[in-house]
Amino acid sequence: MKIALAQQNYHIGNFELNTKKILDGIDRALTAGAELVVFSELCVCGYPPRDFLEFNDFIAKCDEAIEAIKQKTGKIGVIVGCPVRNSRKEGKDLFNAGMLLYKKEISGTAYKTLLPTYDVFDEYRYFEPSYTWNVIEFGGKKIALTVCEDLWNLSDNPLYRSTPMEQLIRQKPDLMINISASPFDYDHDDDRKEVLRANVQRYKLPLIYCNTVGSQTEIVFDGGSLVFDAKGNIMHEMKYFEEDFVMIDTNISSAEVVQNSKITLEDLQHLDKEMRVAKVKDPEKIIDYLTDENNIKQIYKALVLGIKDYFGKMGFSKAIIGSSGGVDSAVTLALACKALGNENVRAILMPSQYSSGHSVSDAEQLSKNLQNPYDIIAIKDIYDSFLKELSPLFKDMPFGVAEENIQSRTRGNLLMAIANKFGYILLNTSNKSELATGYGTLYGDMAGGLGVLGDVYKMQVFALAKYINRDKEIIPQHIIVKPPSAELRPNQKDTDSLPDYAILDKILFQYIEKRQGPKELIAMGFDPAVVARILKLVNTNEYKRNQFCPIIRVSSKAFGVGRRMPIVGKYLS
């Protein structure tokens, strides 16, 4: 059977656009001579639709889109993902469905069984799990059609009590097709391949896996759709972080193998756990892992796509950034120029009396290298006017955090004023290390419409800067090598308030991503006082992060929708 895979970038709730993409994909498949074309999970409405699913009108528009797509299926089978109403009164009102459309009819439907509620997922809030499992017959083949998570229950510590394929395999299917919306994180793509391969090894069937691509606010989908033969060899691996289309024939010869399988099912069942333990077993290797060249390359592509789609899908084209001469703003500026075009990114340099001369010259050189527009607005006079008006209240109290934050909030006000005046979106430059420890000013340097580096540790920011400079110097070397500083008081350094980032990031990674407690961290060799201090900073600053803008997610545990902590909790604070 000739099957086409259409890996596409959808827009949540944009039914006209999504339907057109799907119809165009069908036309392309027909032209190529495909008998069946496969799209991704909830492609009709975009993923994740969240509370849009609670509106009857939204579901009605999904139904209308299916009707339009059905009209194209006279000569070709089409597998799409769409929410479907539950006819039973018991349970949730909807199913997350994969549908086979053929000859202008719905020829088969598979409802998602395993509904994730961890991290960024909240599917059981909306969907009812399937209670029936049947193969779908098409083109003389029996297809075991599943939806995303349905294939993710094969580890030695399964999250769910049942596995849909265990039901479907009894009906002797000829191949598996899985439609998916699997989010990106830099620790995920290899694991995803092996989980899928584990299904092939267990059920001895070829697998066609179609993933979505594109960014939906904070969640990035990286594509990378896959085709496996029945031996677990990868026959096709589609592009990452961009749309793609491929034609396959289920009668594939072994000569066409892209990647051979050299691993057994027994190995696969323990692989995920072993891989993750190995990556963090030695604390001294954590930074090497976080800054691994392949991880940084993926993070770079994910952030560029995240910025591009956020602006494109929101209807904006121009960004504004506070350019301080530091590495965070430099990396953010370079990423934004790549995503939006250098002419569409405006940098604002806002030196104070505490700014070093090289900070301004470094920031200027950066914009000259990137060829993006920039302006310089000194803030000393504005800052002094604040202090003058506050002097009756402040009296003779010594200089402190309040005065430092006035500078930051002055900059935030200027950036937002320019953004409002000219229709820009302010890109925030705070990194994950700063957000974790509360090292930032609410309504100041924490202002913005999108957090670009909020899921990137400081040591990873340095690695990104080096990656950006891989072919030529874009970010001035002095920005990369100088000690980080907020420059809000004379001779200020980040290390005045925080441990060295090489130590800080190790502890933060173990605590945030790996959920290791103080005893485990101390057992790894970290100083008990430093551990207690850092964990307290993380937990007492939850209120700040709760007021922060959306963050592009690139890790397995990002601040935002995937991490839910109480603000008033006492634990470790």
Pairing of strands 141-147, 450-451: unpaired
- Tell me the mean pLDDT in the region 381-403: 95
Q: Which amino acid is at 123?
A: E
Residue 346 neighbours by CB under 8 Å, 6+ apart: 318, 319, 320, 321, 372, 373, 374, 375, 418, 422, 424
pLDDT at 272: 45
N- to C-terminal Cα distance for the chain?
Answer: 60
The tens digit of pLDDT for each residue in 126-173 reads: 999 999 999 999 999 999 999 999 999 988 889 999 999 999 999 999
Instruction: Assess whether 112 carries a catalytic annotation.
Output: yes
Report the DSSP pairing between strands 226-228 and 207-211. Answer: antiparallel
Active-site choice (43, 45, 82, 148):
148
Residue 356: the pLDDT is: 80
Which of the residues 41, 123, 218, 434 is marked catalytic? 41
Scanning the structure block, which residue is given the tokens 């800080």? Answer: 504
Output phi, psi for 80, to 5 deg.
-130, 165
Paired residues of 236 in beta bridges: 227
* pLDDT band for position 259 (cuts 50, 70, 90): low
Least confident of 43-52, 65-74, 357-366: 357-366
Q: What's the mean pLDDT in 225-244?
A: 96
pLDDT at 157: 84
Q: What is the pLDDT of residue 258?
A: 62
Distances (CA, A) of 156 to 150, 192, 195, 268, 364: 16, 16, 12, 9, 55
What separation in angstroms does the CA of 292 have from each of 288, 295, 467, 481? 6, 5, 11, 19
> How high is the pLDDT of residue 298?
97
Residue 274 has pLDDT above 80, yes or no: no
Bond preceding residue 48 cis, omega within 30 of 0? yes
Note the pLDDT tens digit of each residue in 178-233: 999 999 999 877 889 999 999 999 999 999 999 999 999 999 999 999 999 999 99
Region 372-385: mean pLDDT is 97
Angle at 377 between CA 442 and CA 379, to 5 degrees: 55
What would the pLDDT profile of 425-464 be if each residue is shown by its tens digit?
A: 999 999 999 999 999 999 999 999 999 999 999 999 999 9
- Map tokens 């549908």 to a residue: 99
Side chain identity at residue 545, one-letter code: R
Confidence of residue 266 (pLDDT cuts 50, 70, 90): low
**Percent of the chain clearing pLDDT 90 (strictly above):** 87
**What are the structural domains of the chain?**
2-278 (3.60.110.10), 291-495 (3.40.50.620)
* CB atoms inside a 10 Å sphere around CB 190: 13
The pLDDT of residue 495 = 83
Provide the pLDDT for residue 281. 61
Q: Grade residue 497 by pLDDT with cuts at 50, 70 and 90.
A: confident
Output the CA torsion 399→429→548→318 (10° steps).
Answer: 120
CA 531 distance to own-chain centroid: 28
pLDDT at 191: 86
pLDDT tens digits, residue range 70-103?
999 999 999 999 999 999 999 999 999 999 999 9
Q: Of 53-57, 485-489, 527-531, which range is least confident?
A: 485-489
In whole angstroms, what separates CA 94 from the centre of its chain? 26
Active-site residue identified among 72, 112, 301, 318:
112
Tell me the pLDDT of the chain averaged across its residues. 93
The upper half-sphere exposure of residue 270, i.e. CA atoms within 13 Å in the direction of its Cβ, equals 5
Average pLDDT over residues 509-536: 96
Residue 257 clears pLDDT 80, i.e. is over it: no
Q: Which residues, 6 or more positions from 538, have their beta carbon under 8 angstroms from its beta carbon?
A: 436, 437, 508, 511, 512, 572
pLDDT-derived band at 500 (thresholds 50, 70, 90) equals very high
Give CA separation, 473 vs 228, 365, 372, 458, 468, in Å: 41, 11, 15, 20, 8
Give, as one character, the DSSP assignment of residue 162.
-
What pLDDT digit, counting tens, does each position of 311-350 carry? Answer: 999 999 999 999 999 999 999 999 999 999 999 999 999 9
Residue predicted with more confidence, 358 or 164: 164
Residues found in the chain: 573
For residue 553, pLDDT over 80 is answered with yes
Residue 264 has what pLDDT? 53
Report the distance separating Cα 277 and Cα 292, nearest Å: 16
Contacts of 314 (CB under 8 A, 6+ apart): 425
Query: What does pTM read for this prediction?
Result: 0.94
Banded model confidence at residue 275, pLDDT cuts 50, 70, 90:
very low
The more confidently predicted of residues 495 and 131 is: 131
Model pLDDT, residue 282: 75
Alpha helices in 452-517 (DSSP H): 458-468, 477-481, 501-512
